């Protein structure tokens, strides 16, 4: 059995750790409220914009539909944008994102080459010695998510796609559901997919067949699509980053809450162990005193 001093040191260490985990849980809860508000605000806008752009692109005919950002070609080079956090202590959040990206890359056909585009230090650190080609220009964007920086990243990746550096770009991110539940997704990002006519008709309801004749576009459908495509891609990427940020704070809050509970359980065991050791020490002292008194009396 450990002596009293060792148990006291362990108790003090666990109490100190518990105070840290409590503080981290409160900080994460505060950040989660802000991040959750941001993602709840952008989601309806992003979904509405995506649907509108999809309908506009599907309405273009002939060569007008062959725009650089929507052109589908044979896939040889795939850009994998991996969104992770810059800090740890958030349970299996980062490992699940990395596992999702690795599974996607491993499932690619042998004639397709993947290039990793990590956003967040944890992804950079994990794949540092993997031998996988990496584009590290955007690794620090998760430190402070700003739409302007996201739009610049979307613009550079779009240019790389148009110039043929990538034939497809996907985004691996975490979709926020609640602080306990996150869904790890692989989102096709480029080329931008047009909404199918059947989906457009079903969402429009009755009279959808003549919906195209009911609208006049100024300055024209093609010009509107060309202006909206880069903006829609930037919004989709920004939403994925906000989703991942909210998921990170939720995972960290949950992990710190569980760590605090575990520290409490360990404290109860250590205090029980301390009391037993103290009782044993007192009993030993009493036995020695009685034994000494008996020896003197004899």
Q: Summarize the confidence of residues 183-208 as an average pLDDT.
A: 64
Q: Summarize the confidence of residues 206-231 as an average pLDDT.
A: 68
- Greater confidence, 213 or 54? 54
pLDDT at residue 290 tops 90: no
The fold adopted by the segment(s) 23-197+229-254 is: Pyruvate Kinase; Chain: A, domain 1 (3.40.1380)
Long-range contacts of 97-105 (CB under 8 A, 24+ apart): 97/123, 97/172, 97/173, 97/174, 97/184, 97/244, 98/122, 98/123, 98/126, 98/127, 99/184, 100/172, 100/184, 100/185, 100/186, 101/172, 101/186, 104/80, 104/170, 104/172, 104/186, 105/80, 105/132
Instruction: For 81-95, give the secondary structure using H, E and C.
Output: EEECCCCCCCCCHHH
- Greater confidence, 59 or 30? 30
Q: Summarize the confidence of residues 57-67 as an average pLDDT.
A: 62
**Poorest-confidence range of 58-62, 95-99, 128-132, 146-150?**
58-62
pLDDT at residue 209 tops 50: no
Q: Summarize the confidence of residues 164-170 as an average pLDDT.
A: 94
Predicted confidence band at 63 (pLDDT cuts at 50, 70, 90)? very low
Q: What is the pLDDT of residue 204?
A: 42
Domain boundaries, the chain: 23-197+229-254
pLDDT at residue 187 tops 60: yes
pLDDT at residue 193 tops 80: no
pLDDT tens digits, 35-45: 999 999 999 99
Catalytic residues: 90
Yes or no: say if 81 and 117 are a contact pair by the CB < 8 Å rule.
yes
pLDDT tens digits, 247-287: 999 999 999 999 999 999 999 999 998 888 888 888 888 88
């Amino acid at each position: 059995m450990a002596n009293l001093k060792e148990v006291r040191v362990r108790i003090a260490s666990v109490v100190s750790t518990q105070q840290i985990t409590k503080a981290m849980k409160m900080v994460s809860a505060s950040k989660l409220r802000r991040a959750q508000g941001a993602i709840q605000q952008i989601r309806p806008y992003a979904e509405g914009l995506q649907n509108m752009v999809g309908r506009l692109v599907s309405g273009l005919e002939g060569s007008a539909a062959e725009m650089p950002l929507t052109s589908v070609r044979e896939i040889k080079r795939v850009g994998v944008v991996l969104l992770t956090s810059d800090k740890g202590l958030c349970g299996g959040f980062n490992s699940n994102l990395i596992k999702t990206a690795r599974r996607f890359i491993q499932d690619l056909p042998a004639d397709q080459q993947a290039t990793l585009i990590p956003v967040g230090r944890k992804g950079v650190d994990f794949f540092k010695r993997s031998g996988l080609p990496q584009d590290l220009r955007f690794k620090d964007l998760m430190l402070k998510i700003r739409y302007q920086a996201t739009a610049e990243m979307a613009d550079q990746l779009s240019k790389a796609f148009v110039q043929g550096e990538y034939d497809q770009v996907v985004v691996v991110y975490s979709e926020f559901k609640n602080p306990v539940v996150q869904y790890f997704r692989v989102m096709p990002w480029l080329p931008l997919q047009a909404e199918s006519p059947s989906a457009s008709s079903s969402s429009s309801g009755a009279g959808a067949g003549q919906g195209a004749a009911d609208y006049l576009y100024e300055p024209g459908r093609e010009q509107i699509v060309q202006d909206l495509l880069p903006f829609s891609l930037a919004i989709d990427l920004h939403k994925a980053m906000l989703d991942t940020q909210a998921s990170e704070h939720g995972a960290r809050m949950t992990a710190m809450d569980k760590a605090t509970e575990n520290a409490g359980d360990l404290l109860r065991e250590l205090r029980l162990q301390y009391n037993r050791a103290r009782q044993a020490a007192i009993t030993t002292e009493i036995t020695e005193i009685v034994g000494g008194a008996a020896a003197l009396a004899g």
